[in-house]
Structure 1
């Protein structure tokens, strides 16, 4: 297994080119849409981190106590869910069967706890806004050849990145790896 590598910051004209490189995702083909999102998350992860940090800093500057509360709650819920998925069979099976529902459950649990602590607007702005921007970009941005190549390298385990580790933890990379392995096996038989 290779060491973890941070991907380079992609140039602006690659990250946000003309409108011809954006298209509405096919909501009828969820597997294809998921593949587009995962590929873009892996390829543009450093750009997404820069956008998230920018929004996060602006909101943190405006409400530091609420920001700290939101960070602590989300981190605690995320770490608790990862621990539960590794140590509790019921949670592990649920995560494996429906990874999207698992992620949504973590987000809802975070939201409920933050609302009890009175920092809902900070959560909505500082955490949900960057996630929404990242999800929108990764859903609408068409992949290019470099993007597809980087995704295959990551799925094969030749390169590890922070986003790849996060996606693997959330159960979003397993099916891509299986598809890639079956693709390789088919090519080797030819």
Structure 2
């Protein structure tokens, strides 16, 4: 029983919001964001992962990590002219938190950074390469995130399909994608369908 039935008749309107920046945050503890930043939490190993979108100036991110937790060494990279800001906070040889933000058309990949974050300690080489987003050990780029619940990217899903996954359940068994909220299942099915269509075309061309 609703105690406020009149609210059901209240007109509302929604409209799309365009964000100029996109990126991610990884942290050992829950994070809070400025009110104008859109974010979604993603399951990651070792802490908390967030995909973020905003229209803030690059300068607004400079103090983002400092107030969030204990003091530690912070390494930064900034290219204000191109709207890029990256920072990582370390405690000894451990990555405690990081923020990567850049133009929406060129969203930074977090695959190599997630690998470093999941480790208890990181090597000097990993630390040196961290803000570049590159891996010291050849970690593949998983591509744009399709399953936000488990942080599974498009490239990883396409790889599973190429290895024989032919249903959303198959992909879920391999990567966990689609096994929580289920909102990505239509996209999983679409990727499978694209592969199923492409294979007969390739076979026809070969014959």
TM-score, normalization by structure 1: 0.27
What TM-score results when the alignment is normalised by the length of structure 2? 0.25
Structure showing greater radius of gyration is: 2
Q: Give the helix-richer structure, 1 or 2.
A: 1
Greater RCO, CA 8 A, separation 6+: 1
